[in-house]
Structure 1
Amino acid sequence: MNTVPKVAVVILNWNGLHHLQKFLPSVLASTYPNLQVVVGDNASTDGSVAFLKGRYANEVTVIENKENYGFTGGYNRVMAQVEADIYILLNSDVEVTPGWIEPVVQMMQADELIAAAAPKIKAYRKKDHFEHAGAAGGFIDKLGYPFCRGRLFYEVEEDKGQYDTSGEIFWASGAALFITGRHWKMSGGFDERFFAHMEEIDLCWRLKNMGYKVMYCAASTVYHVGGGTLNAEDPFKTYLNFRNNLFLLKKNLPAARAAWVISIRFGLDLIALLRFMGEGKRKDAWAVSRAHQNFVRKVFQRSPVAARQALGGQLPPNMKGLYKKSIVSQFFIKKKHRFSDLDPADLE
């Protein structure tokens, strides 16, 4: 009997043929002994499926979605057709390194409370620096602003080994997300209302509300290009980020706390809208307004994925990785631009 946990690397693709050609070989070169590589395709029109079936017919399982369901819907449909002890949700624009899977699996196997984990995520184009979307693990402040160890807002740090200690975090980046099959099914997967952006934070928050752990594994490194689907200048990305952050708060905070935090966020978002206007970014300003309108229309709509679920009993919520202060004030007013500048006593 094979006692090595089965791991499935699941890559969601949408018109990413160039990324698959460049980065899939590094995934297939992984040394983990019980590995399945799956590419789920969101109705690409660039020849991705033909390439995979022609070049990697014996090495890659291809699952085709009938249409582009976005990051959340696409993954939910693909993952329903894959069985594994541990899933790795991996962006198509990620280059992996030798031995990247083994230390994370070892960490997860050592503690049954660990539901999800993240490797160190560095920038593909600037490999001595962390990457914006994950870095050395995700955290969140008391007002719901996400940030990373190694990246606060637009300040991305050089990796000098300062975050080479593994430990608990609040959220793991969807660019390279390890999650056990049991916890994926228990949580219900991604909330498809998010479409893309912050869906992994919502998933991790739900798991933490159930009492489970999310970890950062410093012994594993991947390199992420970033911005492969929506670049930072796309107003649709602005819309998703502002709207989904409000969904995140409404779903995962207690009702009274959520109402208080969201009221503050509306005011701060208004400041952001005015800043966009002052910078001549009218489409981004309008995106913030549309985000608020959409949230208000759906504020009483029940989420298709429950905010808290349990299997075999309820554990107390685990808020490790919650920053007790405002990262906005710490960064913009007190000029603390590195994670190491923050007082560790202010982290749960």
Structure 2
Amino acid sequence: MTISTRTRLLGIDNLRIVLTALVVIHHAAVTYGNIPAWYHHEPARDGTGLILDVLVMFNQAFFMGFFFLIAGFFTPASHDRKGSGPFLRDRLKRLGIPLLVYLLVLRPWVMLGFYDGSMPYWIFYIGSWDPGPMWFVEVLLVFSACYVLWRRSGRPAGVRQSPLTLRAIVVFTVALSLAVFAWRFLVPVGQYWPVVGLPTPSFLPQYAAMFAAGILAYRRGWFTSLPPAAAKWGLIAAGVTSAVLLPVGQVLTQGWAAQLATAAWETSFAVSMAIGLSVLFRERFGTQGPIGRFLAENAFTVYIIHPLVLVGLALLLSGLHTLAVVKFAALVLVALPVCWKLASLVRKIPAAGKIL
């Protein structure tokens, strides 16, 4: 790997840091907004809760799909280097063990607020089985297994430089918008899948498509071949599609046309943000100093432990009576450094350091 390529890959590494911070911010916003979808929820008692709801809506439209895009990008090289069997064993080790640790060790602590003593704890423990935010790891394991099956079917896997064209972007965006639109007749927005714990199964077509796009981006050299101007135009496209399609969805309010407008906005926003931010970080944030390395090395552990930190800090802040957005800001400002510091301590545990 050349120095230039390594530098450019550091841009993706830095993107992972930002997306991980967005996960913490997202769940902090849910804590004090009007969407009861987190372990600790204090419904907003003022209008600033709507600001947090809008933040959640924009985040949800793109950030988890972006995670799957990045995961897909790094999948082919790992498989090529290790082979199918070792690759799957490595995925089970680095993803499966953290998933089990969260389910068996961390989850009981963040779920304590839901236990009212009306039943034996072991019944509550089993009945509330849910991977929480680790659903991402769960789905990623499935996608990784699917990739191995695809490779074993004899599909060609060689690198073939092929620049990403505007036509391909448009076709992908339109096709995915239609797929999301059709999928939501079966899995409406807001539906939750218990036990497996998927909080947003209505987004599964986006997650799968972005994972596949990440694989293609690696194989065809899209990350390095996109022109610098793609950063500007990607972010402009995200703004324009939001300005056009979001009002359409609000005006129509319901019915298939509103659902299509919503699916089109989410997809267009996700694709535009992925392109814009990827190129922006490649061009402007492609280096790392000691702080950047620290943040990158501990990002995945932050993802695993952040529910425990957020719930604990939110309980400490529960006596603070102020605007919802102020409590949100206070929680974020404290939670982010605490998450990274605690993550670094966790990774110093010998057994954990070999996995995380």
**Quick check: which one's strand share is greater?**
1
**Higher RCO, Cα 8 Å, sep 6+:** 2
Structure with the higher helix share, 1 or 2: 2
Q: TM-score, normalised by structure 1?
A: 0.24
